Amino acid sequence: MALTRTGPLTKNPQAVALGLAQIRVGAAAANISFATPKLLAAASIGALANTKFNGKTDYWKLESGFPLLEDYTLPIREACSLECGFKEVTVANLSLARGIDPADLDEYDVSIALGGLVAPDYVRMEAVYTFPDNQSQMVIIFPRANVVSSMEIDLKTEDAAVIPITFEAKRGDSGVSGGDAAWDSMPLGTIVFLTGDDMV
């Protein structure tokens, strides 16, 4: 009798994700009208230790009867974020971790003020993940994001320091100041799949 394979068998090996995304950061206002990847590899924040996308949804449930049984579910809240840990300790990256848009830095800025924080700047974040076969990509775009994290630099004797930061997606649609109609149907951002010559 032939042995039959069971369980979750691979359907498309090329779709298996392995490795990290490249995080690119640019100006939100200058790129707000683009709903497709816009930032170049030069906008990367450099070497990373981890990249993690979070899409959180809260639901309200309608129940009735005795005992109560569920009749209906409605989404009532949605939030998206991307967590990563960068290894390259630069003025631009540490400023970003403090909520400052690196594009606003003067070329002679060589210090980062502590204390007196204000609301974080809006930045455009693109997380570019290239699949191992190098034939396709998945790009997560937050057109208007804030970096919200408590900066932590853990220096070690035999490993690189990793500074964790979190990009939180904020509304980018035309209903908010600084937004654009390109994002009216996807106000927090989008996930784009690219192949071949369209890869970025």
Angstrom distance (rounded) from CA 76 to CA 63: 16
Residue 1, pLDDT score: 65
**Residue corresponding to tokens 């890869």:** 199
Residue ranges in the chain whose pLDDT is less than 50 = none
**Residue corresponding to tokens 């990367």:** 44
DSSP the chain: -PPPP-SS--S-GGG---S-PEEEEEEHHHHTT--S----GGGB---EEEEEEEEEEEEEEEEETTTTEEEEEEEEEEEEEEEEEE----HHHHHHHTT--GGG--TT------S---PPPPEEEEEEEE-TTSSEEEEEEEEEEEE---------SSS---EEEEEEEE--STTSTT--GGGTTSTT-EEEEEEGGG--
